[in-house]
Structure 1
Amino acid sequence: MAKTQPKQTLTEEEKKKQIYDMVDNLVKKSHVALDQMANFTQEQVDKICEAVATAGEQNAYPLAKMAVEETKRGVVEDKTTKNMYASENIWNSLRHEKTVGVIEEDKELGLTKIAEPKGVIAGVTPVTNPTSTVIFKAMLALKTRNTIIFGFHPQAQKCCVETGKIIRAAAVAAGAPADAVQWIEEPSLDATTDLMKNPGVQTILATGGPGMVKAAYSSGKPAIGVGPGNGPSYIEKSANIDRAVYDIVLSKTFDNGMVCASENSVVVDDEIYDKVVDEFKKWDCYFLNKEEIKKFEEHFIDPRRGTVAGPVAGKSAYEIAKLCGVDVPKNTKVIVAEYNGVGRKFPLSAEKLSPVFTLYRAKNHDDAFRICSELLDYGGRGHTAGLHSSDKKIIDEFAMKMDACRILVNSPAALGGIGDLYNNMLPSLTLGTGSYGANTFSHNIGARDLLNIKTVAMRRDNMQWVKVPSKTYFEHNAANYLRHMPNVNRFFIVTDEGVADQGFADEITDIISKRRGQKEYEVFKAVTLDPNTDVIKDGVHRMNIFKPDVVIAIGGGSVMDAAKAMRLFYENPEMSFEEAYQKFLDIRKRVVRFPKINGVQLVCIPTTSGTGSEVSPIAIISDAKTGIKHTLCDYALTPDVSIVDDQFVQEMPKRLIAWSGFEALGHAIESYVSTMATDFTRGWSLEAIKIIFANLKNSYDGNLAARKQMHDAATIAGMAYSNAFLGLEHSIAHTVGSTFDIPSGVSDAIALPQVIRFNSKRPEKLAMWPHYSVYRADTDYADIAKAIGLTGSSKEELIEGLVQKIIDLAQSVGIKMAYKDYGVDQNDFEKKVDQLAVEAYGDQNTVTNPSAPLISEIAQLMRDSYEGKNTSINK
């Protein structure tokens, strides 16, 4: 007879290798199944899930019975309900959810969302809710075309394996791969750890004790885990006491309190405390005396961990009492310990997972909130808090103050927390606790959490606009409109000393005086060149005294800009200057929203032919403290009425004609090449350019017809840049001009040739989000050259011809083409140029420049402008 070979004893390393290989083999098979499911349709997936749900429901009782027999915890009838819930309620919530391929499509927004599985999931299950959790997690995985490998709790291995077999058989019969649902046959901590850390596992779905959940999060994989629950429930004095007590007893006895959302403590207002106690006693709740509480503190809680002792969880109240050495009636439903503290010194204040709770008497609702918060902090942060109240104010305040992701109002927490039964929350058996509980998710976990959602975003062409004043009046004596302007009678006239000395303000008051009916006016003539915040504050102060219903600005750009700012801050005193000039990329999405102007109308009448401010949403205001010019830009600043009356420019000084003419030319050219230019605005820009080149010199020389043409061109250019905005030339002109007291038009003329040359070269840094497909500034400049009659064999020749035409025009009206020619000291300039470049970069106009400049490039352009590089003016 052959001798029996002695059984080989494996070393620890060999055992670990054997476990690893076993787990790795499961993962490899799972990936094969994953590949097979990749092309499943939604219909195929739903057929499989419905089969799983049916099998789970049909076997709800035998699986529940197995679970109770194996774990020695819980109630068969309640576990049956849990199994049915995991099958019926969960499938009902998933039935119509799209989880395959295109799940959302918004053609209007050009967004499509595509669902893809995360991959192989490691499913960790608890001893408290074993079979129902297996059904739930398997169904979530299959619904999302994931495969799942379970690591069951060793104390519930047999019932979970039986559940897995039933689910797998049903899924396979409906078309699923055989290895879509697998499990570790011989459970161990090493096996579960290897599963979670295996490179082929993409996601961990963990439900269990704090140690296991922590291990899942420490695995280096994306993990969906839940935190412990030590949820309080507050019975507030306005509550329906009978219903509140009934709900809590139901919740605590359901599966012997093993749902993690169930009430662990109850806090009651002093006024109703005795009534609540009496009602609990009617429902066979046993109240421990002081000696019995001490026994419970000794035996109920594990002193090392400070949580419920292992043998206690899920037992009946009668069994728990015996374990703790306390005699209670056999019909006891729940054991209650009246308590007055929270924390390690008060052991029973911890999570209990059993039909036991602590009861607290609160002096008032503030005291109750404090106790509830302390209970959550002691092992239950983020999970669940219950409230029984009919006071909406209390409900709202409780919800705001509790660090819990589920606030359950007037319902049993165990059944309310899992969703669907007592409320409209998503049904789930995995409840996120958010960052309160060191958890990624704060909601009830569903199918969406096991999907990779791909977003297909089509290029968007945003809706564009043209916004100008609602009324624009032009031609000689158009100012007479003020004689008949409706719905106004208190006129606040904003101007400056120079305009007032010319008699223009008197002309306006004369027209107002001829109005019928009541009329009053006040003239504010303290506006200065480049108005600052002190001027604006002075004007607002005067407006607060006068209470106008219309502001009339008559003057140049400084006056009109000042009037815009005065109206803004008069109607919105809470808005700060700093908020008003914040830079933005998209005027519709700016961080600080301008309030709407509702009461006071604004009429702008230009007395120069350059700024276009009479039709623009822009105001240039200097900070009185720093001297820095800031661009305020919002359509709330747009005048309601513009009056373009050439009677006010017939006696304009020659130098002002030259300066304002180049300001208008800068507006027209920069708005034509702006990244925001459109077919609607380019027509205005180009027409203004042609008018200016044809008429500026004649206007400068005294031709009144040409002067009228220039006045109209300035407004046309204003309408263009009001909607297309400007560019780097204006950013440089603003910063350098304000720093060294150079008139705006002169600064525009000096910077314009340098910026055109910069923009017409292929940019180093591309402009973001232009309203055209590809860079086109060189073509735009060449088109301008052609429009004014220039010729050339290439874009480069046309662009340089345009630059020379600008230089020649400037020379013809007495403008020098270098900052140094206007008394700017070179040493002073060099000290400031780098900071000026930073300020120009921050100017709103830089955003829409066709070439995105670097700060160093802006500084170089400023240096070139200082020297008048290649302007040939000094020949």
Structure 2
Amino acid sequence: PSYIEKSCNLKQAINDVVLSKSFDNGMICASEQAAIIDKEIFDDAVAEFKSLGVYFVNDEEKAKLEKFMFGVTAYSDDCNNGRLNPKCPGMSPAWFAKNAGFEVPEDTNIICAFCKEVGPKEPLTREKLSPVLAILKAESTQDGIDKAEQMVEFNGRGHSAAIHCNDKAIVEQYALRLKACRILHNMPSSQGGIGGIYNYIQPSFTLGCGSYGGNSVSANVTYHNLLNIKRLADRRNNLQWFRVPPKIFFEPYSIRYLAELKELSKIFIVSDRMMYKLGYVDRVMEVLKKRRNEVEIEIFIDVEPDPSVQTVQKGLAVMNTFGPDNIIAIGGGSAMDAAKIMWLLYENPDADFFNMKQKFIDLRKRAFKFPTMGKKARLICIPTTSGTGSEVTPFAVISDKETGKKYPLADYSLTPSVAIVDPTFTMSLPKRAIADTGLDVLVHAVEAYVSVMANEYTDGLAREAVRLVFENLVKSYNGDLVAREKMHNAATIAGMAFASAFLGVNHSMAHKVGAAFHLPHGRCVAVLLPHVIRYNGTKPKKLAMWPKYNVYVADVRYQQLAQMVGLKADTPAEGVEVFAKACEGLMKQTETITGFKQSGIEEQAWMDKVKEMALLAFE
């Protein structure tokens, strides 16, 4: 299409259209198939066309022309079946008139026909590859752009569209609306599309239409596309990034740091009702009130286990009204995950969960870029259980109650600003919570150590976390408060390891089992751990893809962990088995179930869901 808008240089615009449409008798695929003219300049445009040797057909001649060119006439019952006569492309105006059954002057440049609309009901708005041009009137700028868009969609997606206009805003609107790869401004469409004369487009007679038109290229095809370019690619390890919160405070009563933290005046506390009842929120508020500056505090304690989008939106509304400069999350993984998402949406209201949850191979090379955080507030995380490690990780999981979908989000921008690892919050934990969260720590560390993305920076952390769990979990479970402190540290250390090395199939499966049967996460990962160790510890049928993971070593790594905790493991195979049994031993000593049947799941209920869980775990 060529839209002739009322602000244009009319004489130049009509000259360009006639020049373009008469060039090579309209054979150029970029030539105008219709001129769409604003009503304010319509009559003047028609007069200008006529002054340049353009012939306008009457109604009878139009019907004859349609019948000859397409075998149908406008608004006839069979007009949808119109097909261009293969004899037509590239012939002269006089030839068309003679074969259609009427006469035009021999010096006619092009033939024009008035049309009422774009589409199959008006056959002459189809692609014609001839010096025949449809003329349409635009009742407004919007109508003109709409008709041009219809022309592109009708017979020319991805190709070319011209506009004659001196209003920059309208030109930009036109260019954004139309799905054409060449938007030709104030120039003949044929010569403009070919390129090199009226613009700096690379000259070519083969014009790509991009994905709009089902092509692999959208530019003009030139010699560049004919060159065979060889690329020698040397193997390189991907750049990896070890990132944890800039400040991590630990040791008993390290919560007192909140009294000294700079730039803290409006605090939004995110927690759950249990933490509030236990007095943990009050403990934090007492420290905040000891600050030298006066602080404002708002609390949100409606976070539930497996936090939902709906809960996050509820908290976000309060947060937006309050306008904090610091967000403090107190609790387990649910409170910290909810706070991360509230923080994200507080600073970036237009963030899209669908884009953020997309899969990736390398976190730093994902197609979607998370926004930079910290522009409006810091996130301070205070874990009250020794398990998730969320206080130091770039991960958060949010669920949508309405759709049943989970959104696992991962990006280093979600890493908290400050972590306060104060073991005094865990001293009154019930035994069952100690066991479940402690076994979760073990799985975090083990999976990080055997991960294909494990590296020198995470290995030491993972090994230390495994050692701390084997030495202290049972003691902590039986009431040893020193061991309880060490388990709290182990949780954060394991979190730092898997924040960069990531987790594996154990956690992927456990998330789905827990969601399907409403089981505690730590219990799910623990039940699966020995089976995953034995599975990962056998030679794989399919090898893992990661440049630094150049050979399979999972069995050797399990052997190393077994030896580290004092087990006899002379071979990798022996190491795999004894380490799996050692993990089962920890489960028995903490009175943890070793199979899902023990949790009350019926076999048929399991079989009904297992295929779906496996498919979801692959995500």
Q: TM-score range by the shorter chain?
A: 0.7 to 0.9
Task: Specify whether residues 549 and 363 from structure 1 end up closer, same or farther in structure 2 by C-alpha distance, changes over 3 A only.
Answer: closer
Contact (CA 8 Å) 1:336, 1:359: kept in 2 or not? no
Counterpart among 570, 585, 606 of residue 832 in structure 1: 606
Q: Is 2:7 the partner of 1:238?
A: yes
| 2:448 is the alignment partner of 1:674 | no
Deviations 1:664-694 (A, max 9, x none): 1121111111222222111110111122222
Return the offset for 1:234: 4.1
Aligned to 1:467: 243
Match of 1:126? none
Q: 2:40 maps to which residue?
A: 271
Inter-partner Cα distance in structure 1 for 2:212 and 2:440: 59
Q: Deviations over 1:519-574 (max 9, x none)?
A: 12244444455555565455445435544332222333343334334444555566
Question: C-alpha displacement at 1:303, in angstroms?
Answer: 6.4
Q: How much has 1:832 moved relative to structure 2? A: 2.3
Quote the residue 2:498 is aligned against.
Answer: 721
Q: Say which of 543, 552, 563 aligns to 1:766.
A: 543
- What's the counterpart of residue 549 of structure 1? 325
2:345–2:351 contact (8 Å) kept in structure 1? yes
CA shift in 2, pair 1:578/1:258, >3 Å: closer
Between the aligned partners of 1:384 and 1:743, the Cα distance in structure 2 is 59
In the alignment of these two chains, the number of paired residues is 606
The 5 Å alignment of 1:10-159 reads: none
Q: Which residue of 1 aligns with 2:282?
A: 506
From 402, 406, 411, the equivalent of 1:634 is: 411
For residues 523-534 of structure 1, what are the structure 2 equivalents within 5 Å? 523-529=299-305, 531=307
Q: Aligned ranges for residues 331-730 of structure 1 at < 5 Å?
A: 334=109, 339-340=114-115, 362-365=138-141, 368=144, 385-399=161-175, 406-431=182-207, 444-448=220-224, 459-529=235-305, 531=307, 536=312, 538-544=314-320, 546-571=322-347, 585-588=361-364, 594-597=370-373, 598-620=375-397, 624=401, 631-730=408-507
Does the 8 Å contact 1:317/1:356 carry over to 2?
no
Matched to 2:606, the amino acid is K
Quote how far apart the aligned CAs of 1:280 are. 5.1
TM-score normalised according to structure 1 size: 0.59
1:222 match: none
Give the CA deviation at 1:269.
3.4
SS at the partner of 1:726?
coil
Deviation digits for residues 3-59 of structure 1 (CA, Å, limit 9, x no counterpart): xxxxxxxxxxxxxxxxxxxxxxxxxxxxxxxxxxxxxxxxxxxxxxxxxxxxxxxxx
Q: Give the deviation of 1:294 after TM superposition.
A: 6.1
Match of 1:803 among 572, 576, 580: 580
Q: Which amino acid aligns with 2:261?
A: M
Say whether the 8 Å CA contact 2:338–2:398 is kept in structure 1. Answer: yes
Equivalent residues of 1:568, 1:637 under 8 A apart: yes
Query: What is the Cα deviation at residue 338 of structure 1?
Result: 6.4
Residue 757 of structure 1, aligned match among 529, 534, 553: 534
Query: For 2:66 and 2:314, how far apart are their aligned partners in 1?
Result: 76
Say if 1:390 and 1:709 are closer, same or farther in 2 by CA, change over 3 A: same
Residues 361 and 544 of structure 1: is their aligned pair in 2 closer, same or farther, counting only changes over 3 Å?
Answer: closer
Tell me the secondary structure at the aligned position of residue 599 of structure 1: coil
The percentage of counterpart residues that share the same residue type is: 43
Alignment of 1:201-240 (within 5 A): 233-240=2-9
Amino acid at match of 1:549: D
Change (3 A) 1:350 1:639: closer
Larger radius of gyration, structure 1 or 2? 1
Q: Distance in 2 between matches of 1:295 and 1:530?
A: 73
Aligned partner of residue 766 in structure 1, secondary structure: coil
* Closer/same/farther in 2, CA of residues 748 and 266 from structure 1, 3 Å limit: closer
Q: Structure 1 pair 420/488, CA: closer, same or farther in 2 (3 Å)?
A: same
Secondary structure at the counterpart of residue 842 of structure 1: helix
Alpha carbon RMSD of aligned pairs, Å? 4.5
Once the two structures are overlaid, the 10-residue window that deviates more, 677-686 or 750-759, is 750-759
Aligned to 1:791: 568
Q: Letter of the aligned partner of 1:641 in structure 2?
A: V
Q: In the aligned structure 2, how far is the partner of 1:345 from the partner of 1:539?
A: 55
Q: In the alignment, which of 842, 847, 862 is matched to residue 616 of structure 2?
A: 842
Separation in 2 of the partners of 1:325 and 1:477? 99
Q: Does structure 2 retain, via aligned residues, the 8 Å contact 1:301–1:348?
A: no
**Matched residues in 2 for 1:555 and 1:251: separation?**
71
Q: Is the 8 A contact 1:628 1:739 kept in 2?
A: no
Structure 1 residue 741: Cα displacement: 5.4
Per the TM alignment, residue 611 of structure 1 is displaced from its structure 2 partner at its CA by 2.4
Q: Do 1:469 and 1:639's aligned partners in 2 also have CA atoms closer than 8 Å?
A: yes
Deviates most, 780-789 or 561-570: 561-570
Question: Residues 115 and 134 of structure 2 are in contact (CA less than 8 Å); yes or no, is this contact kept in structure 1?
Answer: no
Structure 2 portions without partners, runs of 5+: 73-83
Question: When the two structures are superposed, what TM-score results if normalisation uses the length of structure 2?
Answer: 0.80
Query: Which moves more between the two structures, 749-758 or 508-517?
Result: 749-758
The offset of 1:404, in angstroms, is 6.0
* Aligned-residue offset at 1:513: 0.7
Identify which range, 310-319 or 642-651, moves more after superposition.
310-319
Whichever residue aligns with residue 587 of structure 2, its letter is A
In the alignment, the residues of structure 2 paired with residue 258 and residue 613 of structure 1 have an alpha-carbon distance, to the nearest angstrom, of 65
CA positional deviation for 1:639: 1.7
CA distance in 1, matches of 2:17, 2:201: 19
Q: Distance between the aligned counterparts of 1:349 and 1:500, measured in 2?
A: 71
Cα distance in 2 between the residues matched to 1:365 and 1:629: 45
Is contact 1:308–1:351 with CA below 8 Å preserved after alignment?
no
